[in-house]
Structure 1
Amino acid sequence: MESSRKPTAGENIAVLRKARGIGQARLARRMGITVSYLSKVEIGLRPATPTVVAAAAEALHVTTARIHGQPFADPSEQADLLNELRGAVRRHTLPKEDTPARSELAQGLQQAAQLRADTKYLELLRILPRLLGQATATALDAGGDAVAWGQVSDLYGCAYAVAHRLAQPDLADMVVSRQQWAAQRTWNPAADAAAAWNEAGTYQSAGQYDDGLAIVERAISHYGRSRSDGPEPVVVLGSLHLRGVVLASRHRDKEATKAHLRYAKDLALQLPDDRLLHNLTFGEGNTALYELAAHIELDQPDEAVRMAAPLVTAPPTGLKPNRVGRFYIDLARARLATKDLDGAEEALKPAFTVSPQMAEIHPMSREVLRVLFVLHQRSRPDLMAMAKRTGLAS
């Protein structure tokens, strides 16, 4: 995926600031950070973290997607495939596809879930439009069949993952509304809660952490009144609390972070291992990874590094590549924050091995690479190879 160099979030902040005729001091005041910090973010000596990007977007009156830019090394194929997905999502009541054989649809659903978990976003994007049409046609023909509509809802969950990772916030919003539409036809509160998890994710991506928290807390309240027995309610409710951990930590609300984490840990004790249901992963292993990430957001990188040590030696079992890859990206962030440059680079390498497509486009893997690249590390061949894969070097 090599191409010309792609601008980073920090560089985009500088470009947008200058285009609006705003000095660093003025923008720093609006963002609530020091001029020195902003200057380092712009030139690549500090990473543009999610909270920094959210503050810059609000101060500059742009979206967080505009700050992150388009990190794709080959945008042409993505653009064509995304247009196909937009069309399929727009035609949510008018699928072009016919109802397939039950075995064909089951195979497609299994493939989509696996590609999402493996962070193979392009491969997933290639099959989603047709698969969405087939699943919707099946559900419409089946009338009020709750299982059929549940399959449509879960597929929209896969579509949300693609739209989110490929930095398409408008598409992600539309997908979530379609997922809610399908979930309401399942008569299953778990499907509604899974849709709410993604809805909160759209606020998280936009840097509107307080609104995202409100969505999570409302979903927890609604779902808590209709809980059933078995692993499903544990996975769904636990996942909502994990979303709350991310939102609260980025909102710098330590008490809310602790509360959501405490509930998640208590729920995780009820599962023997991490489970994947409705595209939600929950268990003790994933909860630990969310706790580690929260330490980074709350400016406690030393604690995150300490937590990571046993996880590197003995990674949690049962977690899919999307979660393992994110763990290594977070570990790289933590090590960079503690000025362990060699350790940050070493942490990124397995992320590119386990979940290459996510590592290539994830905002924080790119920001860590950018800082390492700027800090006199250009001669390191492994670092250069990763930078080329992300489009940070040509």
Structure 2
Amino acid sequence: MGSQNTPPAPAENISVLRKARRISRAALARQAGLTVSQLSKVETGLRPATPSLIAAVADALGVSTSRIYGQPYADASHQARALDALRAAVRRHDLPREDVLPPAALATKVQKAIGLRAQTRYLDLLDMLPEALGQATAVALSAPGEAGAWAQVADLYGCAYGVAHRMGQADLADMVVSRQMWAAQQTWAPDLEAAAAWNLAGTYQTAGQYDDGLAIVERAISQYERSLRGTANTPAQLISLGSLHLRGVVLASRHRDANATADHVSKAKSMAEQLPTDALVHNLTFGPGNTALYELAAYVELDRPHDAVRMATPLLKAPPPGLRPTRLGRLAIDTARAQLAVRKYEDAEKALAQAFAIAPEMTQTHPMAREVVRVLFVLNQRARPALLDMARRVGLAT
């Protein structure tokens, strides 16, 4: 599997960190609330490391979850330079060096960035973000009180969060979210503040701090509902509030809270029924289709893979309209996880192939996709050419 030239998968990092600390498998299992058999199967490649397990092990080892998730790129030289440029742009958030762009040119650039994020083209997005952030901020600072200009800054920071999160840069994601909130607060727009809160909760989700993330979501929902002074009626309002409930679905299911999960699913469904199709606003996708995808993912996290497979079959055959590659790719990854859990290995491989076809960059770096590939590769599947190709693409084989 992982070698000096290929980045290790999360489960491999667990084994390396445990041995480096001279902790026995039994001791780590006990501290993480796992059985020795569970941990053994994860470390030896017979079972994938789930987000909840990674969070528990990270806490027991006294490391961040990002240490376990690792860096998914085998050759990170170009990405490292581009990430350094993004870090510099985020650091000097109120000292842009770029010129003020004409409004139309800036609007075009912002829409391009949003499109790249939705298409999961993270490397192209990373390359354009430092300059775009500086230009958008220069425009906003040149027009004090102009909410529309600050909205563009906030949306670009939302794109930057997607890049930082997907590339395993937890510290950068934290810094980006603080800048997104700063920009959103200049707009006095509840929708933009909700989008920033959605990403803030995401940083807690990545860190495995699911209870704190849920607290962030509940606070954001309360604040947004107060701003409405009634109920959500417009598409933008439904998307903002519904998206917060979807974030709650993920956090609650990974926190193993079935009741809270069901509550967030129910509220999201109620709002999604008022929309004809899924739509994208401020980098948030919401509607009937995405709500179904989050419900499916919750079944996977709550160890109900048969329910997830039941939902996945019609969704993969006829994907909901309005969903971008970033969401459809995640649907295929969650389907692969569910198929693996019910031991339908060929179906898991097929779902992964769909994920690569729909969203190759996201699938290449997604830790759960890499875990499914790792387990399939170990389970006497090495002779399958398509699987070997996927293992190479995610950096788990040479």
Same fold (TM over 0.5): yes
Judge conservation of contact 1:179–1:195 (CA < 8 Å) in 2: yes
The equivalences for 1:281-296 within 5 A come to 281-296=285-300
Gaps of 5+ in 1: none
Distance 1:26 1:335 in 2: 31
Q: Which residue of the partner structure matches residue 380 of structure 2?
A: 376
**Secondary structure of 1:226's aligned partner:** helix
Distance 1:267 1:135 in 2: 33
Task: Give 2:251's aligned amino acid.
Answer: L
- What is the aligned counterpart of 1:364 among 363, 368, 373? 368
1:300 aligns with 2:304: yes
Distance 2:76 2:356 in 1: 19
CA deviation after TM superposition for structure 1 residue 378, in Å: 0.7
Cα RMSD of the aligned pairs, angstroms, is 1.0
Question: Share of identical aligned residues, percent?
Answer: 64
Judge conservation of contact 1:3–1:391 (CA < 8 Å) in 2: no
The equivalences for 1:27-38 within 5 A come to 27-38=28-39
Q: Which residue of the partner structure matches residue 63 of structure 2?
A: 62
Task: Encode CA deviations 1:83-142: one digit per residue, 9 max, x unaligned.
Answer: 000000001100010101222111111110000000000000000000000000000001
Distance 2:294 2:272 in 1: 12
Distance 2:169 2:247 in 1: 20
Q: Which residue of the partner structure matches residue 85 of structure 2?
A: 84
CA deviation after TM superposition for structure 1 residue 68, in Å: 1.2
CA deviation after TM superposition for structure 1 residue 225, in Å: 0.8
Q: Which residue of the partner structure matches residue 160 of structure 1?
A: 161
Q: Which residue of the partner structure matches residue 179 of structure 1?
A: 180
Q: Which residue of the partner structure matches residue 323 of structure 1?
A: 327
Q: Which residue of the partner structure matches residue 261 of structure 2?
A: 257
- What is the aligned counterpart of 1:271 among 260, 269, 275? 275
Judge conservation of contact 1:10–1:41 (CA < 8 Å) in 2: yes
Task: Encode CA deviations 1:207-239: one digit per residue, 9 max, x unaligned.
Answer: 000000000000000000112641111000000
Q: Which residue of the partner structure matches residue 105 of structure 1?
A: 106
CA deviation after TM superposition for structure 1 residue 302, in Å: 0.3
TM-score (norm 2): 0.98
Q: Which residue of the partner structure matches residue 230 of structure 1?
A: 234
Distance 1:80 1:178 in 2: 21
CA deviation after TM superposition for structure 1 residue 11, in Å: 1.1
CA deviation after TM superposition for structure 1 residue 313, in Å: 1.7
**Secondary structure of 2:227's aligned partner:** coil
Q: Which residue of the partner structure matches residue 192 of structure 2?
A: 191
Judge conservation of contact 1:3–1:73 (CA < 8 Å) in 2: no
Judge conservation of contact 1:116–1:158 (CA < 8 Å) in 2: yes
**Secondary structure of 2:307's aligned partner:** helix
Distance 1:338 1:216 in 2: 32
- What is the aligned counterpart of 1:347 among 340, 347, 351? 351
Q: Which residue of the partner structure matches residue 140 of structure 1?
A: 141
Task: Give 1:339's aligned amino acid.
Answer: R
Q: Which residue of the partner structure matches residue 213 of structure 1?
A: 214
TM-score (norm 1): 0.99
Judge conservation of contact 1:105–1:134 (CA < 8 Å) in 2: yes
**Secondary structure of 1:225's aligned partner:** helix
Higher alpha-carbon deviation: 17-26 or 128-137: 17-26
Judge conservation of contact 1:3–1:74 (CA < 8 Å) in 2: no
Higher alpha-carbon deviation: 97-106 or 80-89: 97-106
Aligned structure 1 segments of 4 or more residues deviating by more than 6 angstroms = none
**Secondary structure of 1:276's aligned partner:** strand
Q: What is the number of equivalent residue pairs in this alignment?
A: 393
CA deviation after TM superposition for structure 1 residue 6, in Å: 2.0
Task: Give 1:53's aligned amino acid.
Answer: I
Task: Give 1:174's aligned amino acid.
Answer: M
Task: Give 1:204's aligned amino acid.
Answer: Q
Distance 1:259 1:367 in 2: 29
Higher alpha-carbon deviation: 10-19 or 256-265: 10-19
CA deviation after TM superposition for structure 1 residue 5, in Å: 2.5
Q: Which residue of the partner structure matches residue 23 of structure 2?
A: 22
Q: Which residue of the partner structure matches residue 115 of structure 2?
A: 114
Gaps of 5+ in 2: none
CA deviation after TM superposition for structure 1 residue 4, in Å: 2.5
